[in-house]
């Protein structure tokens, strides 16, 4: 099989890139994924939260651009605008605000507790209220990208694992479904992006997959589905309503040699410590479910989107650091623009890592 552009990974990074690229690229595009269904790993296991305020300005602006774009597909996406409360020191929160870009308000702890009474007994400095944030239907957003791509003749191969790669454009890829030749190779493989880079002989872009756990607590008295997302920057936890309970995370980021979504036994203890020390109203809550997923981060915590600085025709869409679903529209749009125009540059370019070297 021979194609013009091969995208490795059918999660939010790869699917959105294919969606935007297929709008104006006249050649052939193929997306492969090692799983039998798209979005099996991080793209399908995240907390479904769309938040715009991030401490890095480049990520904050990408999140705001994606949030505006989702308004155009409101009926298809099932987006619930519940808002978000970002908790932390007032000066830190104020430094993140961009009033001309994102509507937000600095609240006192008392005002935040009126929005989410579960915060009674929890000590924090201030809250940043962003009313346009909310909860996304993960499957609906991913299907929007996949269906739109297929309508414009993008092909997909699932259960297709990359085993080896030769050449520099054309690339000759050895996969579990035979050899594929591609003029350009796009690495959107999520936690497997470093491995794909090594197989292709690309630059050693410094990034690392980190495991995070998410829990669902059973019935919590007083929980309201219309409560906003709550994220505490200083104490490293977030939660949001999930049915009559809560989805909650202690924001762990554990290094792991295995890329299997296994659950670490000690994380239940970490959640219990959080509830007893920070959220007294949850001390009697019962854990119903727990799972893990991966957040792949670059060494400077920003995204990696652009041409490899050393390997011609190899392109990165990686290290989205857990932001993938919420910023996926802008990530795909930027990736497509750079794939079509090599002169376009921004802060996400891989060549910002001056020490990136070929193996």
pLDDT tens digits, residue range 33-82?
A: 999 887 666 555 677 899 999 999 999 999 999 999 999 998 889 899 99
Q: Is residue 151 part of a domain?
A: yes
Q: Are residues 51 and 75 in the same domain?
A: yes
Matching residue, tokens 């959107």:
188
Helix axes 138-151, 12-21, angle to 10 degrees: 30
Contacts of 249 (CB under 8 A, 6+ apart): 47, 212, 213, 214, 215, 237, 238, 239
**Do residues 231 and 47 lie in contact, with contact meaning Cβ atoms separated by under 8 Å?**
no
Q: Are residues 54 and 74 in the same domain?
A: yes
Q: Which of 298, 313, 334 is the last residue of a domain?
A: 298
The DSSP H or E segment spanning 124 is: none
The DSSP H or E segment spanning 103 is: none
Flag residues of the chain having pLDDT under 70.
39-45, 355-359
Q: Are residues 173 and 126 in the same domain?
A: no
Spatial distance between the Cα atoms of 359 and 354, rounded to a whole number of angstroms: 15
Radius of gyration of the chain (CA): 21
**Residue 262, domain CATH:** 3.30.9.10
The total number of residues written for the chain in this structure? 359
Q: Is residue 59 part of a domain?
A: yes
In this prediction, residue 264 carries a pLDDT of 87
Q: Are residues 153 and 265 in the same domain?
A: no
In this prediction, residue 143 carries a pLDDT of 94
The pLDDT tens digits of the residues spanning 253-290 come to: 988 777 777 888 888 899 999 999 999 999 999 999 99
Q: Is residue 359 part of a domain?
A: no
Spatial distance between the Cα atoms of 307 and 346, rounded to a whole number of angstroms: 11
User: Which of 130, 170, 164, 205 minimizes the C-alpha distance to 6?
Assistant: 170
Q: Are residues 139 and 286 in the same domain?
A: no
**Residue 335, domain CATH:** 3.50.50.60
User: Which of 238, 242, 226, 241 minimizes the C-alpha distance to 80?
Assistant: 226
In this prediction, residue 357 carries a pLDDT of 47
Please give the C-alpha separations between residue 87 and each of 78, 135, 205, 306, in angstroms, as whole numbers. Answer: 26, 18, 33, 33
The DSSP H or E segment spanning 151 is: helix 138-151
Q: Which of 257, 274, 298 is the last residue of a domain?
A: 298
Q: Are residues 326 and 276 in the same domain?
A: no
* Residue range(s) defining the domain that contains residue 348: 1-80+135-206+299-354
Q: Is residue 4 part of a domain?
A: yes
Q: Are residues 28 and 122 in the same domain?
A: no
In this prediction, residue 153 carries a pLDDT of 97
Q: Are residues 110 and 126 in the same domain?
A: yes
Q: Are residues 310 and 262 in the same domain?
A: no
Spatial distance between the Cα atoms of 308 and 314, rounded to a whole number of angstroms: 6
Q: Is residue 34 part of a domain?
A: yes
Task: Please tell me the total count of domains within the chain.
Answer: 2
Angle at 126 between CA 120 and CA 128, to 5 degrees: 110
Q: Are residues 107 and 226 in the same domain?
A: yes
Q: Is residue 68 part of a domain?
A: yes
In this prediction, residue 40 carries a pLDDT of 67
pTM given for the model: 0.94
In this prediction, residue 201 carries a pLDDT of 94
């Amino acid at each position: 099989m021979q194609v013009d552009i091969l995208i490795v990974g059918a999660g939010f990074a790869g699917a959105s890139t294919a969606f935007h690229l297929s709008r104006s690229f006249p050649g052939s595009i193929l997306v492969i994924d090692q799983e039998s269904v798209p979005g099996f790993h991080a793209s399908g296991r995240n907390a479904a939260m769309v938040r715009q305020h991030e401490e890095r300005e480049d990520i904050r602006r990408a999140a705001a651009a994606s949030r505006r774009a989702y308004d155009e597909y409101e009926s298809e996406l099932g987006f619930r605008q519940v808002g978000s409360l970002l908790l932390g020191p007032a000066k830190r929160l104020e430094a993140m605000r961009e009033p001309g870009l994102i509507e937000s308000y600095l609240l006192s702890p008392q005002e935040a507790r009126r929005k989410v009474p579960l915060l009674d007994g929890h000590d924090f400095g201030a809250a940043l209220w962003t009313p346009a944030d909310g909860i996304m239907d993960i499957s609906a957003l991913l299907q929007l990208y996949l269906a739109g791509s297929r309508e414009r003749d993008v092909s997909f191969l699932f259960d297709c694992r990359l085993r080896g790669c030769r050449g520099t454009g054309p690339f000759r890829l050895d996969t579990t479904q035979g050899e594929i030749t591609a003029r350009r190779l796009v690495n959107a493989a999520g936690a497997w992006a470093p491995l794909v880079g090594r197989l292709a002989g690309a630059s050693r872009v410094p990034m690392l997959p980190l495991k995070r756990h998410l829990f669902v607590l059973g019935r919590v008295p007083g929980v309201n589905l219309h409560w906003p997302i709550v994220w505490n920057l200083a104490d490293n936890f977030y939660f949001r309503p999930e049915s009559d309970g809560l989805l909650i995370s202690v924001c762990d980021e554990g290094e792991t040699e295995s890329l299997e979504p296994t659950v670490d036994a000690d994380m239940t203890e970490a959640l219990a410590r959080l509830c007893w020390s920070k959220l007294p109203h949850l001390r009697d809550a019962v854990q119903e479910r727990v799972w893990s997923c991966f957040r792949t981060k670059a060494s400077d915590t920003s995204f990696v989107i652009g041409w490899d600085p050393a390997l011609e025709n190899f392109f990165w869409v990686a290290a989205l650091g857990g932001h993938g679903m919420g910023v996926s529209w802008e990530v795909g749009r930027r990736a497509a623009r750079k794939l079509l125009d090599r002169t376009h540059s921004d802060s996400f370019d891989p060549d910002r890592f001056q020490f990136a070297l070929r193996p």
